[in-house]
């Protein structure tokens, strides 16, 4: 186990993972086809001290889970953030965002800079949130590192100020049985240095698991494996040294999830205790692992 000296830090959990895509509406339809219940599209804004709203340049669709969520991001305006998304999808469509919730995102930039991660200014992010009775504004504080600091993409912390608007009960039931975002999987050619970098980023510890490594958070995990071990499962992965490749979703019943995909004639790799399903084209490169065991050892199924 690789230890990192701990500061007086806040609770951290795996909050959400994000796909950068060209066509958000087709991505939304694909989520439905694969058994998710996505939210409507919502344009994102920042707000200044005078209360003026400015588009960030991106908007999202989400598949809300009982713990964590999946985000689909597309460009809405020609802004620095919108152009950043365009550059990312020009390399590949797929996973470019990993977000960790912090009980106080405002304290994260100072800590990150001490550990060698230069940060952008804090962002007070807002987006419309349709409710069953009208529309309200969901609010977040977001702490991001500078572009290029983390080669896997936009890696950030956030604090939710309106969780009830984000996790509305009507969006939490999914035909494929999805319940919780259990783990993000990073494919890297240098498991040791990449996992230790994330340990510093998260103020956490790394443990070796099989032929990979893992960081456990207050809720959720980050798993590090080699690209080759995932290529034989999902094929056609990005040709990068280190990238977000997949994520684990905890389901209520693996039998129910298996039956759903069989009835839809969706291809899957079935290893009894884990179902691997490649993302549909609209969501980009990579795939899902559906599991029942929240401590499932992914290295059991990626030994190719």
Is the residue at 3 inside a domain?
A: no
Q: Is the pLDDT of residue 4 over 70?
A: no
Looking at 125, 147, 171, the residue that finishes a domain is 171
Residue 174 has pLDDT above 80, yes or no: yes
Higher pLDDT, 7 or 221: 221
Among 171, 198, 233, the domain-final residue is: 171
227: tokens are 């690209």
Stretch among 115-124, 129-138, 218-227 having the lowest mean pLDDT: 129-138
Structural domain boundaries, residue 62: 12-171
Percent of the chain scoring above 90 in pLDDT: 84
Q: What value does the mean pLDDT take over residues 75-97?
A: 97
Q: Which pLDDT value is given to residue 9?
A: 53
Report how many domains make up the chain. 2
Q: Residues 146, 222: one domain?
A: no
What CATH number corresponds to the domain at position 221?
A: 3.10.180.10
**Which pLDDT belongs to residue 303?**
64
Please indicate, yes or no, whether residues 42 and 157 belong to a single structural domain of this protein.
Answer: yes
Instruction: Please state, in angstroms and rounded to a whole number, the distance separating the CA atoms of residues 93 and 20.
Output: 6
Residue 271 reports pLDDT greater than 90: no
End-to-end CA distance of the chain: 25
Instruction: Check pLDDT > 80 for residue 304.
Output: no
CA distance 153 to 98: 8
Q: Are residues 27 and 51 in the same domain?
A: yes
Residues 14-69 pLDDT 10s: 999 999 999 999 999 999 999 999 999 999 998 777 878 899 999 999 999 999 99
pLDDT in tens, 190-202: 999 999 999 999 9
């Amino acid at each position: 186990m690789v230890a990192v000296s701990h500061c007086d830090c806040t609770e951290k959990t795996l909050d959400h993972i994000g796909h950068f895509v060209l066509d958000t509406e087709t991505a939304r339809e694909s989520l439905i086809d694969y058994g998710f219940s996505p939210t409507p599209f919502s344009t994102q804004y920042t707000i200044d001290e005078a209360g003026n709203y400015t588009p960030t340049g991106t908007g999202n669709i989400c598949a809300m889970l009982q713990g964590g969520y999946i985000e689909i991001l597309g460009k809405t305006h020609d802004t620095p953030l919108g152009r950043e998304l365009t550059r990312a999808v020009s390399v590949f469509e797929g996973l470019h965002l990993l977000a960790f919730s912090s009980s106080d995102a405002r304290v994260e930039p100072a800590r990150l800079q001490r550990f060698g991660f230069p940060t952008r200014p804090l962002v007070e992010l807002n987006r419309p949130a349709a409710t069953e009775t009208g529309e309200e504004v969901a609010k977040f504080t977001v702490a991001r590192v500078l572009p290029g600091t983390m080669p896997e993409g936009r890696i950030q912390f956030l604090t939710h100020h309106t969780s009830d608007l984000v996790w509305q009960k009507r969006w939490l039931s999914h035909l494929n049985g999805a319940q919780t975002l259990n783990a993000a999987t990073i494919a890297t050619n240098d498991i040791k240095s990449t996992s230790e970098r994330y340990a510093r980023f998260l103020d956490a510890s790394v443990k070796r698991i099989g032929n990979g490594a893992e960081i456990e958070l207050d809720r959720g995990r980050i798993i590090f494996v080699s690209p080759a071990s995932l290529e034989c499962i999902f094929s056609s992965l990005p040709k990068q040294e280190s990238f977000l490749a997949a994520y684990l979703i905890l389901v209520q019943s693996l039998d129910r999830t298996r039956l759903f995909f069989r009835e839809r004639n969706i291809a899957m790799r079935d290893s009894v205790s884990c179902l691997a399903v490649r993302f549909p084209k609209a969501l980009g490169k990579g795939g899902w692992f559906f599991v029942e065991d929240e401590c499932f050892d992914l290295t059991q199924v990626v030994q190719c």
